Structure 1
Amino acid sequence: MSAQDLSENRSLLGRLGIAAVVMFGFGFLLVPFYEKFCEATGFYNILQPSSEPKNTQVDRSRVVTIEFDANTHKDLAWTFRPKQSVVKINPGELTTVTYEVTNTRDRAVTGQAVPSYGPQLAGRYFLKMDCFCFTQQTLQAGETREMPVAFLIDPDLPQDVGTVVLSYTFFEIAGRNADSGRAAERGG
């Protein structure tokens, strides 16, 4: 390699080094420049949010009445009721209601809640985020439990539906109570 080639390589490496330093400096200075730009234009001020975050999915122009119903199958000796029988909400608004259930038997019992909707088509627009109906519930003798349902009504609910009824029916799960478990262990 000649002296001229070495000189050209050093010159090229020097220019690449300078370019790397300039690029790093530009990237480093870009953040405060962006903050000042946003502050001056009001475009997007990351230092001070202009307002509280809002759920833009909520349809504030409409109110839907939700009625709650609770039933138990005839063989299940539980008392079951909604703590709130009616709420009025805007579609898209996350809402939580609570049901109360008590096992009136002298032994543990397992039940499963099954929902139904009125009108039936509302079931497609009733979106449950959390619900006691997702799992079986075992209550000890005399136990009372509060169980929440977190839901929202899809804003696409047809306009002619102004009231939705959410009804739960609790059924006993056969073979899942303490007495039948002991009988199975004894072979009976």
Structure 2
Amino acid sequence: MSTQPPAEADRSFNRSMLIKLFVVALMMFGFGFALVPMYRAICQITGVNNLVQRDVSAREAKNTQVDMSRTISIEFDANARGLLGFKPEQRSLDVHPGEVTTVMYDVSNEQSRTIRAQAIPSYAPKQATEYFRKIECFCFTQQTLNANETKRMPVVFVVDPKLPKDVKTITLSYTFFELNTPAAGNADDAVPKTNAVNAVATPAKPA
């Protein structure tokens, strides 16, 4: 039977709980901070999502035959970790396979310091990954955002006409991570913020 007074036992329990919570917070921060380089390394090894280079050149895209007999619905999604505002300017649009299309994403640095960030793309359904060809994308390079700066960033893409006939909808989703997070004090920073709100699509001029 414990001989500790109730007040002392409570203080001991509280200290133990605080230490455990602090360790958990550190682990969450460390995992979030390491997620981007880990993901990029895995993708470079496996080729998944092809983050570091364009999928097709502008010249190749312009020479692609447009399939006017089919229409594919493209949906846009955005997720952000930390103090970043991130959203597509349009939720969805319809395109013909082989048609070069431009859409815009908006990102805002909601902090009072300059940051570096990296966007990671993913696609659904998974089988559409190899048919969604990015010509230009902000995800090809790290982005630098000054304090309270907002950027409009384009994605230029084309859907390969060889896309299987049963695929009618493709979802393009980006997750934006800050690369130089200074500290792990805010647990909210570990939770991605989702914004699947609308944007402006600008069809490319015909060649």
TM-score using structure 1 length: 0.62
Matching residue of 2:175: 169
Q: Which residue in the other structure is 1:62 paired with?
A: 70
Higher relative contact order structure (alpha carbons within 8 Å, sequence separation ≥ 6): 2
Distance 1:56 1:106, change over 3 A: closer
3-state SS of paired residue (1:168): strand
DSSP 3-state at the match of 1:84? coil
Q: Which one has the largest radius of gyration?
A: 1
Q: Which of 115, 118, 135 does residue 112 from structure 1 map onto?
A: 118
Deviation (angstroms), 1:173: 1.2
- SS state at 2:67 partner: coil
The percent identity for this pair of structures is 55
1:128 equivalent in structure 2: 134
- Equivalent in the alignment of 1:83: 89
> Is 1:149 the counterpart of 2:155 in the alignment?
yes
Unaligned segments of structure 2, at least 5 residues:
1-61, 183-207
Off by >4 Å, runs of 4+ in structure 1: none
Structure 2 equivalent of residue 160 of structure 1 = 166
Partner SS for 1:117? strand
The alignment status of 1:138 with 2:139, answered yes or no, reads: no
Shift of 1:58: 0.4
Cα distance change, pair 56–125 in 1 and its aligned pair in 2 (3 A): closer
Equivalenced residue count is 121
**CA-atom RMSD, angstroms?**
1.6
What does the per-residue CA deviation read over 1:139-176, in whole Å, with 9 as the maximum and x for residues that have no partner? 01100000000000000111000000000000111379
Aligned AA (1:64): I
**Structure 1 counterpart of 2:80, which letter?**
T
* TM-score normalised by the chain length of structure 2: 0.56
Please give the alpha-carbon distance, in whole angstroms, between the structure 2 residues aligned to 1:95 and 1:150. Answer: 6
Tell me the SS of whatever aligns to 2:77.
strand
Q: How does 1:25-36 map to 2 (within 5 A)?
A: none
1:63-87 CA-to-partner distances (Å, cap 9, x unmatched) read: 00000000012xx211000011101
Q: 2:80 aligns with which of 69, 72, 75?
A: 72
1:98 aligns with: 104
Question: Aligned partners of 1:56, 1:133: CA distance in 2, in Å?
Answer: 23
Gaps of 5+ in 1: 1-53, 177-188
